């Protein structure tokens, strides 16, 4: 028994020693919390494609569908149901969680991280400023007042306040003007291929900056003409170059690198959710517009090839199930893989000409309105492959005839915006809807047959996302879909 007891003590001591050794090594043993899956820092140039692709995802997918349906180029297919609520004007906050998230938590925050990173080159920073300006303009155009001054600073402001649209526009101009000298910096490292839009072509970025600034000032032309006029005059005083090419990401057929809306359609099992709306199709037909067959797909019927459309929002009432779809050119034909390479136009060449035409028509800039107007139409024809635009320009009722007949500034603007509307079909749905909200042109919109809001009301804004409602103490309250944003007309 005695022997046994001694052994016990020795062993107990040994165990104690082992335990003590374990104790002191504890901290080291437990120091395993460095994330092996994700880096703590990366080169700022790696963030630029993120910012650009995110803006392109917003413009080219979510806003593309809302825009094209609310601009009445497209309507919900009777054979599917994905976008019914858009045609019903029954959208709710959760519908906008996605684009809001892409704007703030992908596009804007990564642009900001480029700007704040001391190792970012001047050129890289310049582009990031433009992306930030573009993103905030997009946000305020869609939602009205949005967080800006307290946005993107999570440790300082956990409940960012909403700034007025005017304040957001002021900042947009500031960002653009900060960008220009950075873009012009000569000794800067060029982002090259990391720039998915212009591959580091700084002259193009300067033109983009000027065109964006013109677009932004014109947005204020009706609501705040003094600011718009002063801004545009100051811009023209710099002898600006404007875009003559589309600002777009070149999408490729590789999965995940495709046109975002087409990619969405593929993910939805190839279901064709959108079809031709009679609102746009009738207007194109009235002008015998050769672009019609580029924007939509002719339905091949043994009896007669034709372009079939249905009235906006009439997906339920429609007995015939064959309707023309938007074309692969605009990325919206679900079963045609060539939709994959359709561009997302952040700003288009045609738009650039029409913006200049409007600035001149309003007397705030120098230039020749008919020349710019025709250049816009020609750029659109070139972009769609619809052939020589001359005959159309000269003979279509909405062609040069409309501009020539216009006497007042408003009538000239009407002709310009209406032509811009045709050029933006399928390509720039959000911008076309936005310009209609600003100017009331074109004038042939109808209320959707599926509308659940009062007669005469139209969607004039996007709703604040549900994610803000449920997490932000500074949430300003839900504004109904039929209330205009700051620069918008009450009854366009």
Q: How far apart are CA 372 and CA 353, in angstroms?
A: 5
Q: How many CA atoms lie within 13 A of 386 on its CB side?
A: 25
- Give the shortest CB-437-to-other proteins separation in angstroms: 21
**Residue whose C-alpha is closest to residue 99's, from 70, 132, 63:** 63
- Give the shortest CB-213-to-other proteins separation in angstroms: 24
Q: Which helix (H) or strand (E) holds 477?
A: none
Hey, CA dihedral for 160, 346, 77, 255, is it positive or negative? negative
**Residue whose C-alpha is closest to residue 138's, from 385, 439, 431:** 431
Query: Closer to other proteins at the Cβ: 121 or 263?
Result: 263
Query: Closer to other proteins at the Cβ: 53 or 377?
Result: 53
Query: Closer to other proteins at the Cβ: 259 or 352?
Result: 259
Query: Closer to other proteins at the Cβ: 232 or 297?
Result: 297
Q: In DSSP terms, which residues pair with 76 in a beta bridge?
A: 274
3-class DSSP assignment, residue 276: strand
Query: Closer to other proteins at the Cβ: 227 or 467?
Result: 467
Query: Closer to other proteins at the Cβ: 93 or 370?
Result: 93
Query: Closer to other proteins at the Cβ: 204 or 259?
Result: 259
Contact 73, 312 (CB under 8 A): no
- Give the shortest CB-324-to-other proteins separation in angstroms: 13
- Give the shortest CB-347-to-other proteins separation in angstroms: 19
- Give the shortest CB-154-to-other proteins separation in angstroms: 4
Could you tell me the two tokens for 463? 């709703």
- Give the shortest CB-458-to-other proteins separation in angstroms: 17
Q: In DSSP terms, which residues pair with 249 in a beta bridge?
A: 344
Q: How far apart are CA 66 and CA 476, in angstroms?
A: 23
Rounded to 5 degrees, φ, ψ at 101 are -65, -45
- Give the shortest CB-285-to-other proteins separation in angstroms: 21
CA 74 to each of CA 53, 78, 278, 324, 454: distance values in angstroms, whole numbers, following the listed order: 24, 12, 8, 10, 22
């Amino acid at each position: 028994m005695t022997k046994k007891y001694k052994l016990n003590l020795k062993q107990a001591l040994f165990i104690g020693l082992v335990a003590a050794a374990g104790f002191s090594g504890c901290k080291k043993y437990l120091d395993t919390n460095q994330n092996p899956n994700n880096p703590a820092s990366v080169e700022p140039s790696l963030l630029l494609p993120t910012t650009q692709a995110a803006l392109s995802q917003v413009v080219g997918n979510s806003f593309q569908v809302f825009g094209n349906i609310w601009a009445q180029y497209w309507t919900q297919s009777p054979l599917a149901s994905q976008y019914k609520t858009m045609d019903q004007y029954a959208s709710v906050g959760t519908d906008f969680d996605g684009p809001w998230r892409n704007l703030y938590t992908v596009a804007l925050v990564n642009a900001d991280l480029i700007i704040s990173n001391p190792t970012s080159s001047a050129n890289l920073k310049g582009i990031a400023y433009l992306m930030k300006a573009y993103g905030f303009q997009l946000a305020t155009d869609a939602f009205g007042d949005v967080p800006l001054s307290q946005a993107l600073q999570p440790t300082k402001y956990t409940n960012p306040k909403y700034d007025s649209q005017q304040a957001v526009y002021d900042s947009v101009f500031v960002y653009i003007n900060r960008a220009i000298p950075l873009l012009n910096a000569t000794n800067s490292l060029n982002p090259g291929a990391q720039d998915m839009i212009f591959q580091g072509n700084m002259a193009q970025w300067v033109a983009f900056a000027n065109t964006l600034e013109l677009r932004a000032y014109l947005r204020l032309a009706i609501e705040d003409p003094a600011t718009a006029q002063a801004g545009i005059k100051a811009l023209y005083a710099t002898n600006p170059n404007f875009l003559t090419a589309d600002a777009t990401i070149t999408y490729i057929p590789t999965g995940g690198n495709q046109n975002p809306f087409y990619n969405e359609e593929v993910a939805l099992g190839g279901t064709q959710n959108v079809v031709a709306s009679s609102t746009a199709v009738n207007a194109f037909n009235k002008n015998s517009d050769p672009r019609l067959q580029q924007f939509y797909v002719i339905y091949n019927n043994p009896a007669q090839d034709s372009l079939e459309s249905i009235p906006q929002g009439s997906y339920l009432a429609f007995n015939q199930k064959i309707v023309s779809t938007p074309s692969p050119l605009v990325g919206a034909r679900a079963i045609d893989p060539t939709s994959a390479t359709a561009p997302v136009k952040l700003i288009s060449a045609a738009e650039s000409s029409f913006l200049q035409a409007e600035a001149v028509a309003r007397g705030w800039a120098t230039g020749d309105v008919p020349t710019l107007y025709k250049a816009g139409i020609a750029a659109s024809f070139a972009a769609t492959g619809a052939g020589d635009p001359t005959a159309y320009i000269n003979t279509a009722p909405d062609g040069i005839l409309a501009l020539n007949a216009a006497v007042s500034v408003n009538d000239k603007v009407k002709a310009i915006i209406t032509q811009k509307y045709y050029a933006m079909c399928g390509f720039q749905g959000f911008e076309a809807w936005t310009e209609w909200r600003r100017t009331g042109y074109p004038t042939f919109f109808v209320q959707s047959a599926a509308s659940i809001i009062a007669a005469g009301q139209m969607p004039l804004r996007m709703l604040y996302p549900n994610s803000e409602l449920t997490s932000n103490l500074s949430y300003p309250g839900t504004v109904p879909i039929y209330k205009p944003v700051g620069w918008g007309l009450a009854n366009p």
